[in-house]
Amino acid sequence: MIIVPIYDMMILPGVTFYFKSEILQRPDIAEIKKDEDILFIVQKTDKERGAMTADDFYPVGISGKVDNIDSEGNISIKANERVEICDIEVSEQVIEASASSLEDKEDITPEEVGQKFEKIKSSLLKFVQGFQWGVWARSFILHWRSLDEVACALSGYLTISSEEKYAIMETGSKKERYEKIEAAVYEFMAVSKISREAEDAQEETNEQAYREMAIKKQIEILQRQLDEMHPENISDVRRFESKLNESGMNEEARREADKVLNRMKQEGKDGHEYGMLYDYLDFLTSLSWQTHEDDNVDLLEAERILDEDHYGLKKVKERIIQQMAVMILNKKQAGSILLFVGPPGTGKTSIGQSIARALHRGYVRISLGGIRDEAEIRGHRRTYIGAMPGRIMEGMKRSGVMNPVMVLDEVDKLAKDYGGDPASALLEVLDPEQNSNFTDHYMNVPYDLSKVLFVCTANTTDTIPEPLLNRMEVIQFPGYTALEKFQIARKHLIPKAMLSMGIKARNLNITDGALRKIIDDYTMESGVRGLKKQIDTLCRSAAVKLVKEEQKSITVSEKRVAEFLGRNVLHHEGILEEKIPGVVTGLAWTSAGGEILFIETSLTKGSGKIQITGQLGEVMKESAQIAITLVKSLYPEEAEKLNTNDLHIHVPAGAVPKDGPSAGITLLTAIASLITGRGVDPEYAMTGEISLRGRIMPIGGLPEKLLAAQRAGITKVFIPEDNIDDLEEVAEEVKGKLQILPVKKVTDVLKTVLTS
């Protein structure tokens, strides 16, 4: 007897099955013969033969006999009866078992069985008519002769589990068995019908979608051809659809744009919101959303470009080159936000253009001076009439790229009022950790600003809020020396002025002496803006003479400067001509650069009153009080004069407000000089704040102050010892003409100037 394990298969008595001989072959059987007994045992779970055990089989199986073996090795086996399986033994390749017959319970008549069979057969024939394979299946159905055969033939298609199939085989009652077969077959047909209806519905839906897609595609192709033939007739909606498809904007921005475009379609050109929707889509599609990789930046070329466009500024250029080197190594925008701080006309804004040219990037400049409304930075919400994007995103639109060099000019002149704080709005813009998802109120979708190289400019850091200042790296732009101004004028200002006036080089020659006279006598600022105006004026005057043909070639010498520029209206404070007790030269910083100033003191008969004039601010008034107290402690005998006389302290140019923490040492020296009667040598100038302990504290703006001292003819300057490191920022030309004396205590200054 050959034992054949089966799983998830229904074998019932009286049904003939067909197998390949390889399936039934066993190692211990040389050849299967006709009339050989077969025993089908049912597995509980699907396992490989080597992993089977006796507990893996159900107790009821089916016995059968080999009915026929054809020449191709196909074996037909007729199932005979249900049997009870006993004594199962499983080895690696062989399964042994014994079986005893089980009788079926004849509780249903042959007529009832025949009726059930005919009914199921009829239902199946009708069922298969709706399928393409129905004709093929019909011939099989017509050959079935019993309900058992129907169940066994459909065993692999029924929607019942392997346990339910075994339950049908195990059932001894024929009536119950046939009822289970009926239920399984009718359930199969019902489920198949529903599945087919669902598939048909899905297919119809898909067909409709494909048809709609094909129609839209055809319309799009035809519309595109019409647009190419008549570009002037392209509708706004079509134009924006095309721009949106080409924009490459992020998913959130695209969703918002599509929503606005749909509203635009519904509104139509006569809708009251059409203009607002048009402006929004026009702005959104005008922005660059594609990330462009930086071209290979050549540091040598960048250095050449910076030197071509700007003379001097060595420290500034070194820092810019460092920033570029970091960007090259990281292959992305990296490094600090640069804040250029210095007097007007020193090249802070124009160097931004040079940076853009060196990086091969777009350039855009945004002036922040006087902005009071936060919406100027973040934009207005579209719920308001006349809503506009902020200046940052407007600048991005003008640049046309995602990674421009953006110069934020005059950051120190931002204002704050009821409209908000624009400086706070800049915090997100300039924070590399946040600006990758900057959201303008007008756009209402995130935009990546992390690729932008921000460069800020300011005349002073005093008015910049601390949180904003912390996000930037301050780079000082010192004022230009006379030599630097000369070179800038010769290499840049004069050629540009002559080009703009239409004057050829052979028609106008400005001698070196004339240029130096213009620098010394007609300008007084740290930058070169005033110098440019004077050169422009000179070229215009020369243009008049050339047009009138008074001269064909003009040479402007030092003596002829007044002929072209008129009388010199500027007056520079110069070095004092003689020692005067109570008068000392100080150094001051202004937003336009450095200046020298004189502290003048005088005693008059009185009762010890103190009068301070010259529009001094609170800081300088307090410095004066500290200076008086220190003088009284240092010179107690001479200070008795202050009790019997009134002290008048004056800083000339009374119409100009003055304030700042750097005049303390000058005030102290002037008062000490007055009461001791010893004048201070005019070649000395000084700067520094003082404390009641007599210490000289550090100050700011040292490069500008030393430049002013050198320009005025001062030869010796006292500076706070703590400011020695700041001398690195001072031009060598200036340091070479000054004797700089670092001091720590006020007594160091007094010993030097009042005993010499």
Distance, CA of 169 to CA of 217 (rounded, Å): 59
DSSP 8-state symbol, 293: P
Residue reference for tokens 């599945």: 195
Given the residues 354, 399, 662, 673, the one annotated as active site: 662
Side-chain-side CA neighbours of 661 within 13 Å: the count stands at 10
Would you call 705 a catalytic residue per the annotation? yes
Both tokens of residue 612?
Answer: 């301070």
* Torsion angle defined by CA atoms of residues 292, 296, 300 and 303, in that order, rounded to the nearest 10 degrees: 0
Contact 687, 719 (CB under 8 A): yes
Question: Do residues 437 and 448 touch, judged by C-beta distance below 8 A?
Answer: yes
Contact between residue 707 and residue 478 where contact means Cβ atoms under 8 Å apart? yes
Whole-angstrom CA distances from 27 to 93, 300, 398 are 7, 84, 86
Token pair of 137 as six digits: 């299946």
CB 755, CB 748: distance < 8 Å = no
Distance CA 7, CA 94 (A): 17
For the four alpha carbons of 333, 337, 341 and 344, in that order, the dihedral sign comes to: positive
How far apart, in whole angstroms, are the C-alpha atoms of residue 129 and residue 125?
Answer: 7
Cα dihedral sign, 25-28-30-31? negative
Rounded to whole angstroms, the Cα distance separating 302 from 318 reads 11
Nearest alpha carbon to residue 316 among 303, 326, 329, 328: 303
Cα distance between residue 733 and residue 719, in whole Å: 18
Give the number of other Cβ atoms within 10 Å of residue 202's Cβ.
10
Helices (H), 331-465: 350-359, 375-378, 391-399, 422-429
Is residue 274 within 8 Å of residue 235, measured between CB atoms?
A: no
Point out which residues pair with 408 in neighbouring strands.
366, 456
Dist. CA 656–CA 651, nearest whole Å = 10
**What are φ and ψ of residue 299, in 5° steps?**
-65, -35
Say how far apart CA 465 and CA 422 lie, in whole Å. Answer: 11
Q: 729: number of CA atoms within 13 Å, CB side?
A: 19
Given the residues 705, 735, 744, 756, select the one marked as catalytic. Answer: 705
Active site residue 175: no
How far the first Cα of the chain sits from its last, in Å, is: 135
Q: Of 637, 591, 597, 592, give the one whose Cα is nearest residue 620.
A: 597
Tell me which residues are annotated as active site.
662, 705
